[in-house]
Amino acid sequence: MAPPPPVLPVLPVLLVLGRPLLGAPGQGAGTWARFARLPYPQDQLFLYDTFPDGFLWGAGSAAYQTEGGWRQGGKGASIWDTFTHRPTTPAGSILPGPTGGDVASDSYNNIFRDIEGLRHLGVSHYRFSLAWTRLMPNGTAPINPAGLAHYGRVLSRLRELGIEPVVTLYHWDLPQGLQDAFGGWASPVLPDLFRDYAELCFQHFGGQVRYWLTMDNPYVVAWHGYGTGRLPPNVQGGPHLGYRVAHHLLQAHAKVWHLYNDHFRPTQKGRVSIALGSHWIKPQHMTEKNIKECQKSLDFVLGWFAKPIFINGDYPESMRSNLSSLLPEFSEEEKMYIKGTADFFALSFGATLSFQLLDSHMKFQQLESISLRQLLYWISTEYNNPPVFIVENSWFVSGSTKRDDAKYIYYLKKFIMETLKAIRYDGVNVFGYTVWSLLDGFEWHRGYSIRRGLFYVDFQSHDKKLIPKSSVLFYQKLIEKNGFPPLPENQPIAGVFPCGFAWGIVDNYIQVDTTPAQFLDPNVYVWDVHQTKKLIKVDGVFASKRKHHCVDFAAIRLQISLLQEMHVTHFHFSLKWSSVLPLGNLSLINHTLVHYYQCFCSELLRVNITPVVALWQPMAENQELPTSLAKYGAWENSETVQAFVEYAKFSFASLGDHVKFWITMNEPSVKNLTYTAGHNLLKAHAKAWHLYDKEFRRSQKGKISIALQADWVEPACPFSRNDQEVADRILEFDIGWLAEPIFGNGDYPHVMRAWLHRRNSIDLYNFHLPSFSEDEKKLIQGSFDFFALSHYTTTLVGWEREDALKYDHYLEVQMINDITWLHSPSRAAVVPWGLRRILRWVKSKYGDVPVYVMANGIDDDQNIVHDKLRVYYIQNYINEALKAYALDNVNLQGYFVYSFNDKTAPKYGLYSYVANQYEPKPSMKHYREIIDNNGFPGPDTAEVLCPDETDECPECHFFRTRKSLFAFISFIFVAFIVTILCIMYYSKRAERRYK
């Protein structure tokens, strides 16, 4: 027997239960190359737009998954009833549970409850399936009147509410009687029996139904029902039987389409199709061979049924050429009979697979990011751009999720947004979208371990009451707005920042090179011109020595010149405590390093760049503490507090003449701090601040504060009070922990103390926040001159546990990923509006305090020349900062980009560093342009004339405004002196000659 074609794992296929189709005859293979060339990152941004007028919005369900009532109203047994009642299931299957779909969501007895849910959503259509065994218990006559009456009530109620029914005749639940009597779809008699069943449905319900689907995902029925036997009816017939079943399914579909077209369409005016399911495949490497394999896989899963129906009545050529001995043959008459038997392309989709090619076999690796848009485009180019109706699409959440299904929402948002892009950007003719599913139910081979419903069903309760999840509110609002209309807050604004706004750049630590300049060498050399051509030192001969000057540090000039090239006004870097005071005290001082810092800062001032200096920034090794301090408890040890104060005093005294902008601690990581360490850190900061305030501020006239990392935390479900509480809690633990004592009431946030008290009382935890004395509160409260924050990204949080790997048990928070967000190579989310929200949060918590965004940046791929992601990041984050300043009245006084170069911060730099050379990236030039414009001036932006420099005295202005005059006077004066000297010189010379 020939090897079977590439087979998709059953799990990814069934996770989606259907896929989408599109087409332009035979050109689908170009899809991979096309989407590999789309502009980055613009193409990955969320599209704020609406769907075409009249777009259909709906929800769906399948009879066996939701109806239950398997022994009620004369219903017969289906192959799924038999499957779920067996004590064991075939190898490789997942036992779905002891009762399967016997009761499920009990929709049979609560159908008006379900329809009320539809009314609540505001959908335009409802896709559901008819249970063949409820209408024909054995699959053939006699007809069951109770079944006819049940579905008649469903359709009548939908018509009353103006909801369009989309009816599936067969959704996998074949009557067991037909399987027993004929072998199910393996028999050639089944197409005619299916036609008879369809005729019954058209006769009784056709006047109320405009959209019919003959069957759902025939690939799964043929391949996993009769080929692998993983699903009912569990026939392990191999590829040969699977292909024969597919042949019969195509014949059955064609017979039903022609039946409707010939006898019912003229009066009922409906449309008929078949629901086809597919994945999308992303090759790990975009090679021609891999693309061909992707095309073959899609041909097998989707083209197997789509090609005969939509193109030529025959199977795809890739299947024909590889499986000629296994595939049944269509006669020319059959080809003509099957071709064109669909009025629209009905698609189900839910997963993207990545693969690598190993020994000519495709090895599927994992579920990847969603690529519905690519599949829609592939269908349009492969099948001549048919009208597409997405009749099944969703994701899933844990079986324990009850209300706040945030993960489901973000996948749903991603699917719908990609559908919108396919319509707006790619010209795909999609006219409807269906969420799967309306309510929780029996999820086939996965039983009740996952949930797909918009409405929660308590399967253990008697009445199976529906409870709307957060996704209901999301979908309801989306339908009302017909998509994602642009919102004012999502639009960039024009405007400029105030005069004196600090435009800065960050370097964690400046590159210190204390190698002296060549001309400081006191030795004398001669040049061996004739032989070695080298300089030879002359022993015992020395030149006169001179004092060291800042220009002797050659490395400083290069760094300064790069900063000048950026046009920044401020440069932020950190001192290395462990290098300045290696022993942690003044017994050993690295005077050379201190002199280097002094020179660096003085050279910055010389070119009008303000140094912003942090005394301490934690790094991986020893937290950048002197070894003696790190070895004995670091910040856990209270002696570190006094050591820091001594170090701060030394730094103020040594550098204070050049530094007027101090940061005590830069981004202390709360993730790595114990409560005791944080307690001591706060006291060290406060003592250093008061030291500067009392002993240095008057003479040095500087300002000083602490810089905290402040990423925004967003509730995953915006409609959930529980998620909002979680977000508020995380903000207090991440930012308020260190900010509240300084900028607030002098003590830790109440939320922290209450939460820890609760956890300690009910669990085995023993985490207690230390207490401040009243004197310590007074010491710490108000120890700031400004609020400095570093901001990089935004995090989504929820309260319901969904993913154990991303769940924080201590704080009871679930980290969630919004897959519609743009992400960096390190998976950091790019969410510009998060910066505006954190700035507003600071203002609401701590008042009109001056604020500096002390670091803001993103990683990017170092292997690419154009850092387009960083250009987008800088542009949009600064614009959100402008909104905070101009619209929210945040007292924002400065913004700093992270980071200066790739040498000190790989993948974050605005300068690349290769082979001892610094090269500016496009992001640097873009940032420089924003600096030069002081923001984003528009046509209506009022011109603001900012003085070049601040006047320190009234006399200074007099001299500065008359520079040209004084230059001219100086020239005349010098010329006069030179003339007098020349006259005196020639007079004396003449005198000597005379004598």
Q: Are 713 and 794 in contact (CB under 8 A)?
A: yes
Give the per-residue pLDDT at 161: 97
Query: What local confidence, expressed as pLDDT, does residue 190 receive?
Result: 98
Q: What are phi and psi of 925, to 5 degrees?
A: -65, -35
Q: What is the mean pLDDT of residues 486-507?
A: 95
Give the Å distances, CA to CA, from 847 to 244, 498, 501, 833, 843.
Answer: 74, 19, 20, 20, 5
- Comparing C-alpha atoms, which of 440, 475, 446 is closest to residue 460? 440
pLDDT over 70 (residue 224): yes
Q: What's residue 146's pLDDT?
A: 98
CA distance 440 to 458: 9
Rounded distance between C-alpha atoms, residue 104 and residue 191, angstroms: 29
Q: What is the pLDDT of residues 21-39, one digit of tens each?
A: 343 468 899 999 999 999 9
Round to whole Å and give the CA distance between 963 and 937. 30
Backbone angles phi, psi at 406, to 5 degrees: -60, -40
The whole-angstrom separation of Cα 219 and Cα 2 is 20
Q: In the chain, pLDDT over 90 holds for what percent of residues?
A: 74
Confidence class of residue 952 from pLDDT cuts 50, 70 and 90? very low
| Cross-strand pairs, 392 | 348
pLDDT reported for residue 322:
83
**118 close to 59: Cβ distance less than 8 angstroms:** yes
99 exposed, middle or buried (CB, 10 Å; 0-12, 13-18, 19+)?
Answer: middle
CB 428 within 8 A of CB 349: no
**pLDDT of 14 above 60:** no
Is the peptide bond preceding residue 371 cis, with omega within 30 degrees of 0? Answer: no
CB 344 within 8 A of CB 259: no
Cis peptide preceding 142, ω within 30 of 0: yes
Residue 87 pLDDT > 80: no
- Whether residue 668 has a cis bond before it, omega within 30° of 0: no
Average pLDDT, the chain: 89
Cβ–Cβ under 8 Å, residues 608 and 564: no
Q: What is the pLDDT of residue 630?
A: 94
For residue 677, the SS3 value is helix
pLDDT at 284: 80
Provide the percentage of residues in the chain whose pLDDT is more than 70.
87
Residue 710 has what DSSP assignment? -
For 765-798, what is the HEC assignment?
CCCCCCCCCHHHHHHHCCCCCCEEEECCCEEEEE
User: What DSSP line would sit under 605-642, residue for residue?
Assistant: HHTT-EEEEEEE---TGGGG--HHHHHTTGGGSTHHHH
Q: How far apart are CA 855 and CA 895, in angstroms?
A: 7
Instruction: Give the residue from 708, 709, 702 showing the smallest Cα distance to 651.
Output: 702
Q: Rounded mean pLDDT of 588-605? A: 95
pLDDT score, position 515: 74
Which pLDDT does position 916 carry in this prediction? 84
pLDDT in tens, 339-374: 999 999 999 997 677 665 444 455 554 444 578 999
pTM tops 0.85: yes
Q: Which residues touch 620 (CB under 8 Å, ≥6 apart)?
A: none
Q: What is the pLDDT of residue 56?
A: 98
pLDDT for 979: 58
Predicted confidence (pLDDT) at residue 281 exceeds the cutoff of 80: yes
Which ranges in 183-287 belong to alpha helices (H)?
190-205, 218-219, 238-259, 265-268
Q: Does pLDDT of 960 surpass 90?
A: no
DSSP β-ladder status, 495-496 and 935-936: antiparallel
d(CA 709, CA 667): 5
pLDDT over threshold 80, residue 859: yes
- Predicted pLDDT at 642: 97
The mean per-residue pLDDT over the stretch 238-250 comes to 97
pLDDT band at 323 (very low <50, low <70, confident <90, very high): confident
Reduced to 3 states, what is the DSSP secondary structure of residue 756? helix
Q: 3-state DSSP call for residue 431? A: strand
What does the alpha-carbon distance between residue 973 and residue 967 come to, in Å, rounded to a whole number?
10
Q: What is the DSSP letter of 310?
A: I
Mean pLDDT of 1-14: 34
Give the rounded distance of the alpha carbon of 432 from its chain centre: 27
In the predicted model, what is the mean pLDDT of residues 840-856? 98
Q: Round to whole Å and give the CA distance between 665 and 621.
A: 16
Q: In this structure, what token pair is assigned to residue 753?
A: 């103390």
pLDDT at 429 > cutoff 50? yes
The DSSP result for 818-884, as a single string, is: -TTSEE-TT--EE-THHHHHHHHHHHHHH-S--EEEEEE-----TT-S--HHHHHHHHHHHHHHHHH
Structure confidence at residue 6 (pLDDT): 35
Phi/psi zone of residue 229: left (φ > 0), alpha (ψ -120 to 50 degrees), beta?
A: left
Check if the beta carbon of residue 970 is closer than 8 Å to that of residue 605: no
Q: What angle do CA 710, 715, 720 make, to 5 degrees?
A: 155
